[in-house]
Amino acid sequence: MRTASLLIDSLGAQPREVFKGDDYLAVFERAEQIVGLRPKLDGPRSTAGPGIIVTAPGEDCDFVSRFFAPQRGIAEDSVTGSAHCTLVPYWAARLGRKQLHARQVSQRGGELFCEDRGDRVNIGGMAVTYLEER
């Protein structure tokens, strides 16, 4: 079975587009598709990439996303800065803007304010420290 077929089977839904970088990027048509995804987390383990980013245009923001990385021991990450380093250039090019408002729609989720700076991505938002190494 091809990697794209495994990815689609794992997500249980057909994205409009799929890109491969450090992680897979699966682009859907609508935000409710992202919210409604119930992936089979054993499926992504058999894909070649370590993580799967899913995204769609937002309704009250520029775009929404979720991030799954079972190969890294993360079923679903709540808010993922590294995924936004992929998402921001994609959406900046698609929307023709450098400043973007994003929402990661995982169970805990978060709101991010991002800027595409060419070779860098700035990400801001509210955060709560929940663990410190001593």
Residue 66 CB contacts under 8 Å (≥ 6 apart), including other chains: 34, 37, 53, 54, 76, 104, 105, 106
Distances (CA, A) of 111 to 22, 78, 84: 23, 11, 12
Question: Which of 10-14, 30-34, 70-74 shows the lowest per-residue confidence on average (mean pLDDT)?
Answer: 70-74
The mean pLDDT value for 56-73 works out to 93
The mean pLDDT value for 13-37 works out to 94
Q: Using alpha carbons only, what angle is made at residue 31 by residues 89 and 124, rounded to the nearest 5 degrees?
A: 45
* Cβ–Cβ under 8 Å, residues 64 and 35: yes
What SS3 state is found at 6?
helix
Q: Where are the beta strands (DSSP E) in the chain?
A: 17-20, 24-27, 52-57, 63-69, 74-77, 99-104, 110-116, 121-124
The pLDDT of residue 120: 96
Q: What span, in angstroms and rounded, lies between the C-alpha atoms of 34 and 44?
A: 16
Predicted confidence band at 1 (pLDDT cuts at 50, 70, 90)?
very low
- Quick one: DSSP state of residue 7? H
pLDDT in tens, 33-52: 999 999 887 654 555 567 99
Residue 24 has pLDDT above 60, yes or no: yes
pLDDT in tens, 95-121: 999 999 999 999 888 999 999 999 999
All domains of the chain in start order, with CATH: 3-124 (3.10.310.10)
Residue 94 has pLDDT above 70, yes or no: yes
Q: Which two tokens stand for residue 7?
A: 């990815």
Burial zone of 50 (CB within 10 Å; 0-12 exposed, 13-18 middle, 19+ buried): middle
> In whole numbers, what is the pLDDT of the chain averaged over residues?
89
| Among 6-10, 74-78, 107-111, 117-121, the range of highest mean pLDDT | 117-121
Dihedral, CA of residue 67, residue 73, residue 79 and residue 83, to nearest 10: -50
